[in-house]
Amino acid sequence: MNSYKEQWLAVLRNKTQCRAYEARVRELDAPIGSFLSFHLDPPPGSNNPPGALSGIPLAVKDNIAVRGRPLTCGSRILENFQCPYTASAVEKLMSAGARIAGKTNLDEFGMGSSNENSALGETVNPWNHNKVPGGSSGGSAAAVAAGFVPLALGSDTGGSVRQPANFCGVYGLKPTYGTVSRYGLTAYASSLEVIGLFSRDIALMEEAFTIMRGFDPRDQSSINPQEPPVGGKKAAVLKVDGGALDGAVSDACKTAAERLGAEGYEFSAVQLPSLKYVVPAYYTIAAAEASANLARYNGMRYGYAPDYAENPRELMKKARHEGFGPEVKLRILLGTYVLRSGFQEQYYGRAQKIRTLIRRELDALFKDYNFILMPVFPTQAFSRGGADMDDYQQRLADVFTSLANLAGNPALAVPTGMAKGLPAGVQLMAPHFAEARLFQAAGELSKHFSPPSPEGSLDIRGLA
Ligand code: GLN
């Protein structure tokens, strides 16, 4: 049988096929809303050397720069902004032959867990349109789950790749902090975030990651991968308080541990004493950095500006008041609050200390264990409109994902099957630079399970 990648390479070779593909995706995406803009780059010309990803359509979260395309960040403030440059990670994938297909919906500036904070439209979960696709990279996750593209980019500041991947039943990778250049990623919380990948195919994801990573002079925090010592078969499973998880989520963890056990892994249960401080530390740091990063949107040089203002101060006020949505405003306020003079030590300083503590606890565990198995999120995809999970609960539920952002570790959301009509899955977390261990374990799990397709998804083989 052809690999997933080969299925995609076999089609979209000529203009007619590309047009048919575009029309089909537009039709199938109408009820899902994963794309904010969609238009497939032309097939590579004959003088383009065929790269590893030759012709593969790539969806890009709309907070990542692609020249000549919009870069809305899901915000009114950038609604009409056309991007003049391309992110390094995107450039690398394009030089390997990937073709941009479209820009995907997200929670405004990456702030949220449901895609409901986008100012530019709603994305629903392809498995059940009454459920959210997750966030903030919900559009990318939905597009991959629905088979519209084999590969998509997202950004992960506190779980925004892994949580939507988990909700939509696809793989979602958050690489080690710094291994993928952030040049061209719109900054939300710079010390936490990294560009990540979505795919239904673990081999294709690994290939794309290998192309994307590496030092980039345009991002001073980027770094070449350093190989960690080869791991053995010892793995840990995180102990979580009874009742903190939905049944389907704890079942997924159990099943995954059993399946990996059958592949020769030996699991021990471990605890992270500082886990309870993760969410407060994450939101303190994320809000603080957001309040500084988002100061640049002031209606002066680009982005939304009001029709009339008495003076520059008034103009900035109006641009920000009318351009930002409520969640973004809340976080800017929170961020300025925790950073206000005389109180930095009490909030930001403390959060940074917690961050060090967590990093040490994880480093200690990784001396003994190859990777840690844990949930991605305490529940499966929740209902739209906050019916079964309000904003506050959504934030608390970021505990298992934002852990890896605070400590910089790589982590992978792995789909493991369906439960109650929705995807279920687990998260694998590894020491810094040990993405290879994650791919290896996920590859072993994928022998037992490969992601199914929701109704109304695209089967690319039908277009060949
Ligand atoms: N739920 C997290 C937040 O709202 C996700 C952030 C992210 O990874 N972009 O901050």
Question: Ligand 1 centroid vs 283 CA: distance in angstroms?
Answer: 9
* From 34, 88, 160, 274, active-site residue: 160
CA distance 141 to 410: 18
For every residue of 379-443, DSSP letters joined together read SSSPBGGGSSS-HHHHHHTTHHHHHHHHHT--EEEEEEEEETTEEEEEEEE-STT-HHHHHHHHH
Helix 88-95 × helix 202-212 angle, to 10°: 110
Mean pLDDT in residue range 209-229: 93
Tokens of 65: 């720069």
Mean pLDDT in residue range 303-317: 95
Peptide bond into 113 cis (omega under 30): no
**Amino acid identity of 223?**
I
Q: Does residue 112 come out as left (phi exceeding 0), alpha (psi in the -120 to 50 range) or beta? A: left
* From 5, 34, 61, 318, active-site residue: 61
Q: Torsions phi, psi of 61, nearest 5?
A: -55, 140
If pLDDT is split at 50, 70 and 90, which confidence band does 305 have? very high
CB 358 within 8 A of CB 366: no
Mean pLDDT taken over the chain: 95
Question: Ligand 1 centroid vs 252 CA: distance in angstroms?
Answer: 23
160 is catalytic: yes
Question: Ligand 1 centroid vs 361 CA: distance in angstroms?
Answer: 23
Q: Residue 241's pLDDT is what?
A: 85
Atom nearest to 394 CA in ligand 1: 1
Short-list 385, 417, 412, 413, CA closest to 130 = 385
For the stretch 232-277, pLDDT in tens is: 899 999 999 878 899 999 999 999 999 999 999 999 999 999 999 9
Q: Is 113 in the pocket of ligand 1 (CB under 6 A)?
A: yes
155 is catalytic: no
Mean pLDDT in residue range 348-374: 97
Q: Is 86 in the pocket of ligand 1 (CB under 6 A)?
A: no
For every residue of 117-149, DSSP letters joined together read T-SS----BTTBTTB---SSSHHHHHHHHTTS-
Q: Is the dihedral of CA 172, 177, 181, 185 positive or negative?
A: positive
For the stretch 107-141, pLDDT in tens is: 999 999 999 999 999 999 999 999 999 999 999 99
Question: Ligand 1 centroid vs 9 CA: distance in angstroms?
Answer: 34
For every residue of 168-227, DSSP letters joined together read HTSEEEEPPTTSS--TTBPPSSTTT-EEEEEES-HHHHHHHHHHH-S-BTTBTT-----P
Lateral strand order in the sheet of 234-238:
35-38, 99-104, 57-61, 151-156, 194-199, 171-174, 411-419, 422-429, 372-374, 234-238, 266-270
| 87 three-state secondary structure | coil
402 is catalytic: no
Least confidently predicted of 14-18, 19-23, 260-264, 338-342: 14-18
Least confidently predicted of 55-64, 94-103, 328-337, 448-457: 448-457
Mean pLDDT in residue range 46-60: 85
* From 113, 136, 199, 457, active-site residue: 136
Q: Residue 353's pLDDT is what?
A: 97
Short-list 143, 124, 178, 118, CA closest to 432 = 178
Q: How far is CA 416 from the centre of its chain?
A: 18
Q: Is 91 in the pocket of ligand 1 (CB under 6 A)?
A: no
CA distance 244 to 389: 14
Closest residue CA from atom 6 of ligand 1: 158
For the stretch 181-215, pLDDT in tens is: 999 999 999 999 999 999 999 999 999 999 999 99
Residues 6+ apart with CB under 8 A from 79: 72, 119, 120, 304
For the stretch 83-110, pLDDT in tens is: 999 999 999 999 999 999 999 999 999 9
Mean pLDDT in residue range 302-329: 96
Q: Is 398 in the pocket of ligand 1 (CB under 6 A)?
A: yes
CB 142 within 8 A of CB 375: no
Domain spanning 4-229+410-463: CATH 3.40.30.10: no
pLDDT higher than threshold 70 for residue 354: yes
Q: How many other β-carbons are positioned within 10 Å of the β-carbon of residue 263?
A: 14
CA distance 319 to 378: 38
Mean pLDDT in residue range 148-170: 98
Considering the entire predicted model, what is its pTM? 0.97
**Terminal Cα-to-Cα distance of the chain (whole angstroms):** 15
Q: Residue 263's pLDDT is what?
A: 93
Alpha helix (H) ranges present in 263-346? 278-293, 312-323, 326-339
If pLDDT is split at 50, 70 and 90, which confidence band does 441 have? very high
Q: Residue 342's pLDDT is what?
A: 92
Q: Residue 47's pLDDT is what?
A: 65
For the stretch 397-422, pLDDT in tens is: 999 999 999 999 999 999 999 999 99
Tokens of 318: 């109006």
If pLDDT is split at 50, 70 and 90, which confidence band does 448 have? confident
